[in-house]
Structure 1
Amino acid sequence: MLTISEVLLIKKKDMKLKKLIFTFALASALFSCDDSIMEWKETADENKITTAELPLELAEKIERYEALNTYTDFILGDGVSIDFYLNNEAYRNITNENFDDVTAGYAMKHGPMVTADGSLNFTNVDAFIAKTKEAGLSVFGHTLAWHQNNNASYLNGLIAPTVIPGSSGSNSLDLSGLKDASLDGWAGNWNTAISIVEGEGLSNTSQAIQMIADGTANPWELQLGTPAIPIVSEHSYEVSFYIKSDQAGQGRISFDANLVNQYPWVDWYSNGSGTESFATTSEWQQVKFTLAAADFQPTATTFMFNFDLGYLSGVTYLIDVNTISVVDLDAEPSFVNIITNGDFEDGTINPWSGYGNDSSRTISADGEGYGGTGYAMVLTNPTEAQSYEAQQVYAFDAPLESGTEYTFSFFVKSTSPATLQVELQNESYGGDYSGGIVVGNTWSLVTRTITPSTDDKIRFIFDFGESATTYYIDDIILSSGEVETASEPTIVEKTEEEKAEIIGDALESWISQMVGHYKNDVHAWDVVNEPMKEGGSLRDGNIAELADDEFYWVKYLGQDYAVTAFKLARQYGNPDDVLFINDYNLESSLAKCDGLIEYANYIESQGATVDGIGTQMHISSTSDRDNIVEMFKKLAASGKLIKISELDVRLGTNAPTNDQLAEQSDMYKFVIDMYKEHIPVSQQYGITIWGISDSVEEHEFWLPDESPCLWDADYNRKHAYKGAADGFAGRDVSEDFTGELN
């Protein structure tokens, strides 16, 4: 079997051959179709000027250099924007002519690849890889497990708390005997078999009724009955609660004589046929059914029901106290909602409208409303601005009354932590404000009061320009009466074990799809990117404020997240793929360099294979050269393939002087010289230059107002091009230039 080094040598030679064929074909095409090439003519001897006697300017000298990759045998790569590569011909031509390998700076990361449902959108990267194939370039995969550039909204959504909606109206059942643990008003055939336990409910902090079946064989042998529940003639009622058991269980609901049928068979789980009982498992599940007006005796003014759980001996049941409810479905609301379309159940957001900050507003898909049912209004603000710079407006039919206290409420969540506010506004844009309302990624109920300061308030407005996020808003109520809303939802946090399992599955889903899809096209990957802190310890993900695209795999999977990532990359890729761990500032923090090497060794001690270490080297012309040398020595001692993965040299300005350009050139050459001197040839994977030119467009997001690249903003070769080429060649390539025209 070939070693990794032998495989790399073959790949390098193959790439050089492909590049040679491509360059020859390109040159042939250019010169065969250009009819305007100047023809040189002989002149009289006395009028000749010997070009060798003319001074050769540096710029002219640099232009006489060949393409960069002609000066080295190891893989020479470049970090590129796939949009520029696909759409900018000058950018693409320079890339194709000078490099063997390209790394997509952003497009192949979790954030741009993973969609809202966890599937991957391969369209852009497929087009990119197809184009690089035409040019004979290989693609380096960047990157699989990183804490930035993730679809953090999707990942956080996977581990977000489960939101159990509150009852759909006020609860007609008195729960006080449960909440004070006295069971006053509740009846049953219990002794110690039925009790109230703390912290065992849905939310892990709420109360639960615990019912233990011991020696029972019939449902009524373990029974708990409710207090009398008042009813209104001709009204229907919804009964619901959440229940689970320590093993497979069975239960039913029975009623007093105020129901026509005291032991009804109910279609508990919408399977189309009524049954006497419902099944229970170790997972919380809702039991919900409706009692129609015809189910009650004509003279009934109250009713009660029993939890009958004595079917199976040896089963322990838990019923969440907060979710036991009986709601009058025909009760008249005690208030008038001034907002006519606050629940969006007609599938539109009319008559709501809005504007500002390129924001958008729409209706959600059915089932995305509060509680996982119906519709919600969806507001998206693309960039952070002032709160009032993105607004969603509801116009009243008549102005509100000044001095009157109004109550508003709504359910809201957002795709990332955010803030919004509510405003009452007049025709002249004068407003009364609610103050900031903090929003998270799970549904929460907001209830506030607000009093119009004048009689001319004609608009209810959501000001949502402060946070760059998407809001879901549902069940909006505005009233001057006492607002009776649905009860607070129950928030069920996932355990740390559950989160670890979910995020582990998400990591496998991402890597298996990405590496599997590009198995035939990408044969080297940054598997784990930037795992270390500056002092050399492993990042732990305990960050106070996360950016919208930050997600720390290590926080949920522990230090073995990298072990898992490397094993998955190998499992779903090819046996000879070259897999890297990569980090930055290794030349400025030697402790970090040591820590990265130690972590790579740890990963291998757990059964994974790390083929190489990448050092990014985003440096400046004044970076410590002794540290650079020491870093290379440490990396060489690891015995692994070493790659300079993202090399650029900053100058601190986008308008450098000639002296600064010379310093930059010298630093490029120094880094390349030291790489070749201290990294054994068998460990030299290659060098990737980060970026093509100093153009403003290329540096919108990376090193703005800088000039770190080998080509200037107009795609002309800089002094740094000569420094890099001389470093690759191991000599001053221009020392033999005579100035003769070829």
Structure 2
Amino acid sequence: MKNIFKIGLCTISACIAFSCADTDRLEFEVEKPESIANQELLNSYLDLKDYVNRETNPNFKLGAGISLSDYINRNVIYRLSNRNFDELTAGYAMKHGAVVQSDGSLNLDNVNEFLTSASESEVSVFGHTLAWHANQKATYLNKLIAPDTLSSTGPGWDTITAADFESDNTSNYEANAAVTVSFTADGEGANGSGRALKVTNAEVRANDWNAQFFLKFSPVVQVGEKYTLTMDVRSDVNATYSTQAHVTPGAYKHWDFFGQIPSTPTWSTYTREIVVSESQATCGAIAFNLGLTATTYYFDNIRLTKYNETGSVQLEDKTPEKKQEIIGAALEDWISQMVTNCAPYVKAWDVVNEPMDDGNPYELKTGVGKTNLASDEFYWQDYLGKDYAVEAFKLARQYGNPDDKLFINDYNLEYSIDKCKGIIEYVKYIESQGQQVDGIGTQMHISINSNKENIATMFQLLAETGKLIKVSELDVRVFVEEPTEEILQQQADMYKYVVEMYEQYIPVNQRYGITVWGLIDSPENASWLPGEHQGLWTLDYTRKPAYTGFADGLEQL
């Protein structure tokens, strides 16, 4: 049926002398512009939460990811969110980096204002997030585990690390699998009274770096710093071996660090001073490449020192056990205060966020070996191990409400089915260690071209866990600056498809809900999906076809 405008015109002569009479009116019909008709259709839709059948989905929560400042300032987003959604997730303001101060204290003023405002509006709040690697107060956490200062004097050489091999402490050295490591008998060290380290390379390798021994140290070297390496060396036969700069053992950075080291059957002392070049900077390990000679190498009295022009500071790195203790306490301090503060209103938490590695989807992410860590990047798992999530769930359960719903959450589960399986296996591990995981969140930052079969498979796999399933951060980008009506319809179809697959594969008792992350399109200068037109509303808060597609999907729940 055509949309019609009726337009009435008076004849010119009649209009000059009189007002138009019925007999003077000329009426004709024109078709209403399609753009106006389409927008009227969009505007005729109800608010989104009105499309959720609460009788068949009594526990389903329709959520919105919002900026806390937008909400507490009670601007358009405040009204839009309250009218259309049941639950709110703060995009940044409830994360470690936003709340924890430089001294470790928590500033919860904004969080509490947000919770109060949401409570007054009778919308729930989903806690996001307790244990993540990004948006952390990393400067504070790294300060906690920084090396201890043993003494401080005037200008001179600071000992960065040392090893005399008189104890079995291996915290500052290691070797790769190509060599075997042992110790000499007491009295066979360089000074004839102690013991030394033996590193045996049993065969000639294709490359010298195929057999390596590493000296580890902290902090990492920086451009322009001056270092001296001193050590006693010998070998069963004459040999010469090179050194490499590594970020961490095995993470190669530069081919030369402390030069070529000559070694004979007689003990000798090797000393080399360097000024750190740009290609060596940020390294924290020296690799000794032992692969070109089949022999046993001996090391004793290794010492790495750094010149301090203003004062000599003697540092001692904390042991891994001590770092684990400190970071474990910091995690408890953060979760206990945050969860206790929010418990009167927050009944569900994203406890562990984005744990799985993209390249090794059955393993955890790690910061080890990364040379470009962001200032707010900190990996709890690098200090607490695989059980960091076990501890996080334990603490969230301990300090929250007895019936809180606790989630683990990750992205790209629909893109990488192995990653989906990986997080499911990690959930099994967490529960094997005695902690209950109530739900799994799948972020679903997808596009109009995302693989629909993978989306269906992901929901099937997640449903089979028996856990609550939450689409935690749904948005659909379009990849063009000026989307056509056809592309906008493809976006609408994808939003609808996600809800349809959720309804098809997730049983009613496992449907926690769906949270939309892109309410309005991102501007060109946004930090998240700039200019990607991913939202349900335009930048001027006009409904898009995506709104109707999403609403049509919700109506089928």
Normalising by the smaller structure, the TM-score range is 0.5 to 0.7
The whole-number CA distance in structure 2 between the counterparts of 1:611 and 1:518 is 19
Match of 1:68 in 2: 48
Per-residue deviation, 1:84: 1.9
Kindly indicate whether the alpha-carbon contact (under 8 Å) linking 2:362 and 2:421 is maintained by their aligned counterparts in 1: no
The AA in structure 1 aligned to 2:410 is D
The answer (yes or no) to whether the contact 1:695–1:714 under 8 Å persists in 2 is no
Q: 1:66 to 1:204 in 2, by over 3 A?
A: closer
Deviation at 1:48, TM superposition (A): 10
Give yes or no for contact 1:203–1:491 (8 Å, CA) kept in 2.
Answer: no
Could you say what secondary structure the match of 1:528 adopts?
strand
Question: Does 2:434 correspond to 1:610?
Answer: no
CA deviation string 1:10-40 (max 9, x = no partner)? xxxxxxxxxxxxxxxxxxxxxxxxxxxxxxx
1:524 equivalent to 2:510? Answer: no
Cα displacement (A) at 1:169: 7.4
CA distance 1:582–1:198, change in 2 (3 Å): closer
Counterparts of residues 537-576 of structure 1 (less than 5 Å): 537-541=362-366, 542-545=368-371, 546-576=373-403
CA-atom RMSD, angstroms? 3.3
Aligned CA distance change for structure 1 residues 133 and 145 (closer, same or farther; 3 Å)? same
1:621-636 counterparts in 2 under 5 A?
621-636=448-463
The letter of the residue matching 1:57 is A
C-alpha distance in structure 1 between counterparts of 2:136 and 2:350, whole Å: 15
Following superposition, the deviation at residue 53 of structure 1 comes to 10
CA offsets, 1:519-574, max 9 Å, x none? 10100000001111234212241242211111111111111111110010000001
Q: TM-score, normalised by structure 1?
A: 0.50
Residue 541 of structure 2 is aligned to residue 715 of structure 1: yes
CA contact (8 A) 2:476 2:534 kept: yes
Please name the residue that 1:724 is paired with. Answer: 550
Task: Say if 1:48 and 1:609 are closer, same or farther in 2 by CA, change over 3 A.
Answer: farther
Is 1:499 the equivalent of 2:499?
no
CA contact (8 A) 2:519 2:535 kept: yes
1:127 to 110, 113, 137: 113
Q: What residue in structure 2 maps to residue 393 of structure 1?
A: none
CA gap 1:594/1:162 in 2 versus in 1, 3 angstroms: same
The residue type equivalent to 1:66 in the other structure is: L
Q: TM-score, normalised by structure 2?
A: 0.66
Distance 1:721 1:438 in 2: 51
Which of 78, 99, 114 is matched with 2:64 structurally? 78
User: Aligned residue for 2:523?
Assistant: 696
Question: Residue 58 of structure 1: which of 27, 38, 45 is its match?
Answer: 38
Q: Please list every run of 5 or more consecutive structure 1 residues that lacks an aligned counterpart in the other structure.
A: 1-42, 172-195, 206-386, 388-433, 449-474, 476-485, 732-742
Change (3 A) 1:537 1:203: closer
Distance 2:464 2:165 in 1: 58
CA apart distance, 1:708 = 0.4
C-alpha distance in structure 1 between counterparts of 2:33 and 2:165, whole Å: 93
* Bigger Rg, which one: 1
- Sort the Cα spacing of 1:124 and 1:48 in 2 relative to 1 into closer, same or farther, 3 A: farther
- What's the counterpart of residue 670 of structure 1? 497
The answer on whether the counterparts of 2:522 and 2:532 sit within 8 Å (CA) in structure 1 is: no
Within a 5 Å distance, the mapping from 1:404-483 to structure 2 comes to none
Equivalent in the alignment of 2:410? 583
Mapped partners of 2:138, 2:434: distance in 1:
29
- Residues 588 and 199 of structure 1: CA distance in aligned 2, closer, same or farther (over 3 Å): same
Cα pair distance change 1:572/1:619, threshold 3 Å: same
Q: Distance in 2 between matches of 1:683 and 1:539?
A: 26
Amino acid at match of 2:443: Q
Which of 521, 524, 536 aligns to 2:361? It is: 536
Q: Secondary structure at the match of 2:152?
A: coil
> 2:9 maps to which residue?
none
**Same amino acid, percent of matched pairs:** 50
User: In structure 1, what is the equivalent of residue 337 of structure 2?
Assistant: 513
Tell me the distance in 1 between the aligned counterparts of 2:67 and 2:307: 43
2: CA distance, partners of 1:577 / 1:160: 36
Query: 1:644-683 alignment to 2 at 5 Å?
Result: 644-683=471-510
8 A Cα contact 2:522 2:528, kept in partner: no
User: CA separation in 2, counterparts of 1:547 and 1:729?
Assistant: 43
The residue identity in structure 2 corresponding to 1:117 is D
Change in CA separation of 1:642 and 1:490 when aligned onto 2, cut-off 3 Å: same
1:596 aligned counterpart, secondary structure = helix
Tell me, in whole angstroms, the C-alpha distance in 1 between the residues paired with 2:556 and 2:156: 82
DSSP-derived class of the 2:146 partner? coil
Could you list the per-position Cα deviations for residues 316-345 of structure 1 after superposition, in whole angstroms to 9, with x for gaps in the alignment?
xxxxxxxxxxxxxxxxxxxxxxxxxxxxxx
Structure 1 position 59, deviation (Å) = 1.1
The structural deviation recorded for 1:164 is 2.6
CA contact (8 A) 1:77 1:686 kept: yes
Q: Which residue of 1 aligns with 2:467?
A: 640
- The one-letter amino acid paired with 1:667 is M
SS of match in other structure, 1:103 = strand
Q: CA deviation at 1:87?
A: 2.9
